[in-house]
Each structure stands twice: as structure tokens, then as C-alpha cells.
Structure 1
Amino acid sequence: MNISFSHLDIYKESQIVPYLEGESGIGKTSIIEQYAASKEMDCIIMGVASLDHIEFYGRTVSTDIVAGFNDQKFTVFKKSIPNWVSTILHNDKNNKETLLFIDELNRAEPQNLQSLMNLILKREFGSDSIKLPESLFIVCAGNPVDDGNYLVESLDKAMLSRMAIVKVKATLEAWKKSYALLYDKKNNRQRVHPLIISYLDNNRSDFLLQSNEDDMSDPGMDPRRWDMISRLLYSYEKNSTSDNNLLSLLSTVSSKDVTPKLVNYLKSSKVLVFSKIQEQLTEFLHLHKEKDFNAYLVNEKNDTSHYDELIESIQSQLNRAQPVTQMNILSSCFFALEAKSVSDDIFAIMLNISSEEHIMSIKVGIDEAQTYIDKVDEKYNLGVNERVSNGLVKHIYKTNPYVAELLRGQ
């Protein structure tokens, strides 16, 4: 999306509530959850379109009191503090910040809007005007009003005038960077299937498609849909032995315009992905009855010419692949190493046959990649960091020889 963590940092420090207006399914909730996690903030997601009255306002509790000359008994009714407010206050007491994400704001029930306005504009809640702490960062979101695709209402001008209105939209590159290429620790894999990313790189217009107004069963396409397709494909590959049901399976979650193209691509694709390279490397070790490549190369009985032929074959396959595919392969190998599903000697092989630009890209773009690369580079004496450094100097030399000479002199 066209909003970054640095933008959110600025709104947070300025104590301004950002209102993220964008289509459903483009990843507004995901980026807020990721931001909160990166800042170690407690994240409370409040979907106000379906907000339960008790959940929002708290329970009505009664208290019997005795008062007056005749010791008359009276019953007093008041609202208890709702759980989400208690959580915010508890976090503040323990020096922990809270991010409250108020989603679907322009679908809120009219009777809740005044309370939401006080919450957003004054950080106050309830009839007792509970003051919420400065450690609370509020972010709101809603869907567009003017396209007629959502049952939404225009927000009060007084509310809008006090928020930063951020028109958000999803882009393929931002989605890949902030979500699709990240590592899924729970399932030990890249979040979005490499073949889905490859398909989108070749069919970029399919990333976002409007739903068909004349056919409510055609959902259109957005990041949420592509994530669903990816999860189905991962499960399908794991559990299915036949290609016959792939079309009917994917048609339940994707647009009618996309499904046949996508299925044809998946069935006929010759796209190189890391899993294919991993299979070749694993088969080679199995054939030679070795546990890893380090053991194979150290064993004097082994003919290393076979290893050289294998690496040349993989290098040739990699060279024929598109640059974006090469990048996906190297990043997938890193994720596999981080998940401990491949050994570090396989990562060393991939570093050796990857370009300096791609190594530098994952160093800069993926958390912890620098540390892993440095360890493997030192362990196997690869000289990768030196190669990357020299490549960087050569690049700078073409654009600014003076700076390059200064770097060489260090």
C-alpha cells in the first residue's frame, strides 16, 4: 500500500489520527498489525460495523445503596468499563503502548458515532468521560463513499476535519515487500506461493480487478483474494494427487476472468522456483549417500566433477530466469534457511551463483539476512561480501568516479 511505517510514525508522534480510506481487501488491517508488531505495541482491532453494544460500551451493572432518613434502598445503574478500555489503561500502567484500529468507521451505527467521535477527537470514552492515555495511538479506516460498491455513509465533517485523510491503494510491489515475500513462521514457507508471485509479475493487471456488479458470485481480485489462492495452492500441492480439481477449487476464490488463465499457468509453468532447485540438490545428496555438500566435497572418494556439473546446470537454469524470478529464488532460499528446512551449505551454493545485486537486495530488504549471509560467508570462506563490495564500487565508478576512488582508498 502507499502508506509506510515511517508515515505512521509521523502521525503517531504528531498525535494525529490517520483515516485510511481504501477498497476492502487491500491489506489495511495487515499493515496496521505489522506496524504494531514492529513497535511492540498491543494492537486492538475494533470493527465498528458489527460492533456488539456490550463489547463497546461495557455491561450495565446495578448497585444497591441505602440512603435517606428512612434508610430507603435505591438501585443505581451504571456501565462497567469495557475490556478494550481496561486493556488500554492496563498497558499504559505497565509502560506499554496500544494501537487501537477502528475499522469500517463509515459503516458504524448512527447511535455509536458520537461516542466514536469523542474517542477519536478527545481520547475520551463513556458517560464518565474516561480519559485515555497518550500512549494510545488511534488509526481509523473505511471504504470509499463515492463508488457505490459499499453500504457506507459520509462521515461527519467535524470528524473528518480533525483526521489525516489518507487515500490508500494497493500496488503489487508494495504488497510483495510488505507481505507476500515475507516468511510465514507458522507454516515454514514464504507467505505467498512463488508461482502466484511469478504469475502476477507476468499479469500485473490481474492484481486488482473490480467485482462484477452484474454477477455477485464474481468477487474481483485484491490482495486478500491472492492470499487465499496461495493458501489453497499450498494445501493442494500437499494433499492432492490429481490436477483435475484445481480449476474447480480455485474458481471458488478467484475471478472468473482470472481462474482459467491462472490454472493454465500453474499447470504448464516452466518457471524456476527455489523448491525445484532444492529438489535437484537433495536428490544429488541422496544419490551419493551424503548428508550435506560439505561432507560430500571433503570426502576424497567422491568425484567432484559431478558436483561441478550439477552447479553448472543450476547456474544455467538461473541465468535463463527473469531477474525477478532470480530474486524470488534467493529470498526463498533465505526463508528456507531461516526455517531450518535447508542446510547452510545449500544457502552457500545459492549465494555463490547469485548476482551481487540480488545478494545486496536481500541484505537491505530482508530483516536478519545480513547476519545470515555474514555467517555463511565466513564459515565457507566464500568471499561473497568482498564480491558484493567490489561490485558496488564498480557500479558507483560508472556514475561517480570520484566517490568510487574515495571508497577504494579506504
Structure 2
Amino acid sequence: MNFKETLQSVELILAARDVPLLVGDTGIGKTALASDVAKKNDWSLLVIDGNLLKEGEIGGLPTITTYTRLNAAGKSVKETTTTYAIHHTLRAIDEEIANQRTVLLFIDEINRCEHAVQQELMNLILNKEINGYHLHPDVRIIAAMNPSDSYDYETVNMDLAQQNRFVWLYMEPDYAQWLDWAETAGIEPEVREFIATFPDYLNQHHEDDIHATPRSYERISKAYKIYKEKNKPFPNPYFLMSSAVM
């Protein structure tokens, strides 16, 4: 599906209170789509990057606290219990909810994290709970991942039961829609003209080399804009390489 079709599908899935899973190459616009959904609905967008998490980080590190209870003899005795500190993003969710905001939680790279981290994220995504912390009902979730077989880096596959809990949406680049978006987003005319002339370059993969993605052309546009404003010569290879960088 292209960006527009995926966006419409995500809105329907969220309205049904299910969890969409966006599958698409890096730089194709998964994060931008989540941002658009949040803006359209006036929701607060918070992001968790699974690739950056370590085991126990999202679930919270265990801490020991002391409490007092009455024993069988009616005497006060002290006991200890284990509680878990929550991740800073979960705290940010609670703060937004306290301010009467609906939260869109975007969880990216769910297949590029350690297996233990993935299990923690699955509890949060599918069960809305982790180590005693419960997500508020006003939290919507979008998950995202890159195709498991598209890159050389290691990925962690979900089991069939977990896969069945998501609504899978496969995103593909659409140069015509990208050009419409690029005009409203202020992408430099020369960059738009290049893609209009060579649409295959919008999302071009090279084995054993860097490759271009829609996000690449946002960066080259920013650099080219500065180049024109500075009116200062730069080596031409800079722009050629920049357009190919992920």
C-alpha cells in the first residue's frame, strides 16, 4: 500500500482499538505516518525505539521497598516487596493523560531489539501491561518494523501467536504521492524535479552499498537550500553522495 492507503487503514484499525503493524523499508515514512495520525486527531505522539532498548529498561528495573503489615498476633511487622521503576516514556504517557490528552504511542524497530526486549514490548503492545504498570485506555498504539529479509542486520522474528495479534500493513513508496507531499513540505524544486524525472531513485537499493530512501531526499533538500542561501561553492560529489545516504 502507498502512504495514503496505509494512513487510511491505520485510522480504521485504531478506531477498532486494534494495533496496526507497519512493515516497510527504512526511511519510507513510517514515523511520518504516525506523526500525521497524531496531528490529525490532536493526539500527543510519543516514540519508543526498540533498537535502543536494553533488557529490563522498558519493563523497569526492580527496586525493594519496605511496608508495614499486621501479623497473626496483631503486631506490626515490616516486610519488603519488589516494585519496578517505569521507563521515562511511560511516565511521559501518564503526564499527558493527566493533562486530559489522548496519547499515540509509536513503537518502532520491534524486530531489531534483543529477544527479551521484544517480549517486554509485546506485553506492553498486546496486553497493555508490563510488570504491574497498566496503559491507560486513552493510549493508542502503532508498531513498526523493517522487512525481516531485506537487510543484513540481525532481526528477531515474532512467534505465530504474536503475529496474529497485529493487523499487518505493508508500505511501499509512491513517487507521485511523495511529490505531492514534497511540494507542501517545502522540498526544493530541483529535488522534486529530479524525482519526477527519475522516479525509481526515490527508493533504490544497492547490494553492498548505501541506498536512497524518501528520507534521503529530505536531507539533500535541506543541504541544497543552505547551499543556495550561502552562495558558496561546494564540491559536486557532496550532493551526489548525500542523495544516496539512508
- Secondary structure of 1:137's counterpart equals strand
How far, CA to CA, are the matches of 1:231 and 1:158 in structure 2? 44
- Is the contact made by 1:45 and 1:100 (CA closer than 8 Å) also made in structure 2? yes
- Is the contact made by 1:143 and 1:152 (CA closer than 8 Å) also made in structure 2? no
- Is the contact made by 1:55 and 1:83 (CA closer than 8 Å) also made in structure 2? no
Are positions 1:118 and 2:144 aligned together? no
Cα RMSD of the aligned pairs, angstroms, is 2.5
Q: Per the alignment, do residues 238 and 33 of structure 1 end up closer, same or farther by CA in structure 2, a change over 3 Å counting?
A: same
The structural deviation recorded for 1:135 is 1.4
Q: Per the alignment, do residues 5 and 22 of structure 1 end up closer, same or farther by CA in structure 2, a change over 3 Å counting?
A: closer
How far, CA to CA, are the matches of 2:100 and 2:79 in structure 1? 40
What's 2:20 paired with? 18
What's 2:191 paired with? 196
How far, CA to CA, are the matches of 2:161 and 2:103 in structure 1? 25
Higher share of residues assigned strand? 2
- Secondary structure of 1:95's counterpart equals coil
| 1:200-215 correspondence runs (5 A) | 200-213=195-208
Q: Per the alignment, do residues 132 and 175 of structure 1 end up closer, same or farther by CA in structure 2, a change over 3 Å counting?
A: same
Are positions 1:99 and 2:104 aligned together? yes
How far, CA to CA, are the matches of 2:123 and 2:57 in structure 1? 17
- Secondary structure of 2:58's counterpart equals helix
How far, CA to CA, are the matches of 1:54 and 1:227 in structure 2? 35
| 1:220-235 correspondence runs (5 A) | 220-235=211-226
The structural deviation recorded for 1:144 is 0.9
Unaligned runs of 5+ in 1: 184-189, 257-410
How far, CA to CA, are the matches of 2:87 and 2:150 in structure 1? 35
How far, CA to CA, are the matches of 1:93 and 1:241 in structure 2? 50
Q: 1:79 aligns with which of 78, 81, 84?
A: 84
| 1:152-301 correspondence runs (5 A) | 152-178=155-181, 180-183=182-185, 190=186, 192-213=187-208, 218-242=209-233, 245-255=234-244
What's 2:147 paired with? 144
Q: If the length of structure 1 is used for normalisation, what is the TM-score?
A: 0.53
- Is the contact made by 1:219 and 1:254 (CA closer than 8 Å) also made in structure 2? no
The structural deviation recorded for 1:97 is 0.9
- Secondary structure of 1:102's counterpart equals strand
- Is the contact made by 2:148 and 2:157 (CA closer than 8 Å) also made in structure 1? yes
The structural deviation recorded for 1:221 is 0.9
How far, CA to CA, are the matches of 1:121 and 1:74 in structure 2? 33
Unaligned runs of 5+ in 2: none
Give the number of the structure with larger relative contact order, counting CA–CA contacts within 8 Å between residues 6 or more apart: 2
1:173-225 C-alpha deviation (Å, 9 max, x unpaired): 222334x1224xxxxxx1x1111001111111211210331xxxx41111111
Q: If the length of structure 2 is used for normalisation, what is the TM-score?
A: 0.86
How far, CA to CA, are the matches of 1:79 and 1:124 in structure 2? 12
How far, CA to CA, are the matches of 1:52 and 1:145 in structure 2? 20
Specify the structure having the higher radius of gyration (Cα): 1
- Is the contact made by 2:115 and 2:156 (CA closer than 8 Å) also made in structure 1? no
Are positions 1:108 and 2:108 aligned together? no
The structural deviation recorded for 1:13 is 0.8
1:14-61 C-alpha deviation (Å, 9 max, x unpaired): 111111111111111112112212211111111101114565233443
- Is the contact made by 2:66 and 2:79 (CA closer than 8 Å) also made in structure 1? yes
The structural deviation recorded for 1:227 is 1.0
The structural deviation recorded for 1:160 is 0.9
1:68-122 C-alpha deviation (Å, 9 max, x unpaired): 7897765544212333223333433443211111101111211123222222222
Q: 2:137 aligns with which of 121, 134, 137?
A: 134
How far, CA to CA, are the matches of 2:36 and 2:89 in structure 1? 20
- For 1:27, give the aligned amino acid: G
Higher share of residues assigned helix? 1
What's 1:345 paired with? none
Percent identity between the two aligned chains: 23
1:366-406 C-alpha deviation (Å, 9 max, x unpaired): xxxxxxxxxxxxxxxxxxxxxxxxxxxxxxxxxxxxxxxxx
How far, CA to CA, are the matches of 2:244 and 2:9 in structure 1? 33
- Secondary structure of 1:57's counterpart equals coil
- Secondary structure of 2:219's counterpart equals helix
